[in-house]
Amino acid sequence: MNYVSLSYPDLGIAALLVFLVGFATLQRGLGLFRPLMIGATRTAIQLTLVGLVLKSLFSTTNPLWVALMALVMLTAAAREVLTRQNRRFRGGWSFSISAVSMFISAFSVVILALVMIVGPEPWYAPQFSITLLGMMLGNTMNAIGLCMDRLTSGVWQQRREIEGRLLLGRTWRESIQSLRRESIQAGMTPVLNGLATAGIVSLPGMMTGQIMAGADPLEAVKYQILVMFLLAVCTGFGTLLAVMFASRRLFDDRQRLCIDRLQAKRS
């Protein structure tokens, strides 16, 4: 196995390149230097911390610790979806809708894959369950964030047209059907692009990492195909559920548009 270990100076070179990109945007007044530096710093700190946690977690097979880690990941993902919405629901509804949608889609797919496909012993072994769940949650989070933002922003912008359709006798589903369709398409677009270009335009990250770590390329390909298929299922169900829950929340029992349930993003 031709495994090459990376040193901290090696990572420092990569960090310097990120800084140079940020400096180039700063010189042109693009306003991207600060978010790029914050994002890179957060990436380094968060991945280092999660690496330490996973190193300890992999040494045990206690299902309670695995469940706790999964709950933390779900909470963080739902919180991130909340911050990406320009128009969010008042109260905790945006957080709840995204959390429930991700829980139903990602957790059920991961458990099904672990029990019926991968088959580690035990099935909740953190080396498989946490890593697989992380990939599913990350992509489902992005998809739900996109579709919910498209839906709520679209309803806010088209509220007069929607109310007009309701006055003409349309049901609440009919009055926002086009927005629901556009929102689902927006959430699914990244994974659809990934499925169409995998192996031709891009080599997916999981497969690349396995190959660089010395794994057999064909074995890495099989795992990557599995992951891509599972991602499609998770994002598909996740966006469908999120749009269904969110669109229903926008109307009351008398099928009136409750635009006051939305609020602008806090600056």
Q: Which residue has the tokens 């949650």?
A: 137
Task: Please give the residue that has the higher pLDDT: either 21 or 84.
Answer: 21
- CA gap 44, 139 in Å, rounded: 20
Same domain, 71 and 43: no
Residue 145: Cβ within 10 Å count: 22
Domain closes at, from 57, 73, 98: 57
- For residue 121, is it within any domain? yes
Same domain, 119 and 209: yes
pLDDT tens digits, one per residue of 131-142 = 889 889 989 999
Angle at 92 between CA 91 and CA 96, to 5 degrees: 150
- CA gap 129, 131 in Å, rounded: 6
Domain coverage including residue 50: 7-57
- For residue 149, is it within any domain? yes
Helix axes 63-83, 93-102, angle to 10 degrees: 130
Same domain, 46 and 74: no
Confidence class for position 123, pLDDT limits 50, 70, 90: confident
Domain closes at, from 15, 34, 57: 57
Same domain, 12 and 86: no
> Residue 5, exposed/middle/buried by CB under 10 A (0-12, 13-18, 19+)?
exposed
- For residue 2, is it within any domain? no
Domain closes at, from 41, 57, 73: 57
DSSP string over 222-247: HHHHHHHHHHHHHHHHHHHHHHHHHH
Same domain, 158 and 245: yes
Same domain, 66 and 48: no
**What percent of the chain shows pLDDT beyond 90?**
43
Same domain, 32 and 69: no
Q: Are 223 and 116 a contacting pair, CB within 8 Å?
A: no
| Residue 210 scores a pLDDT above 80 | no
- For residue 1, is it within any domain? no
**Residue 91 — left, alpha, or beta (φ > 0 → left; ψ -120 to 50 → alpha)?**
left
Instruction: Give the amino acid at 256.
Output: R
Same domain, 76 and 19: no
The rounded Cα 193 to chain-centroid distance in angstroms is: 15
Confidence class for position 204, pLDDT limits 50, 70, 90: low
State the total domains in the chain: 2
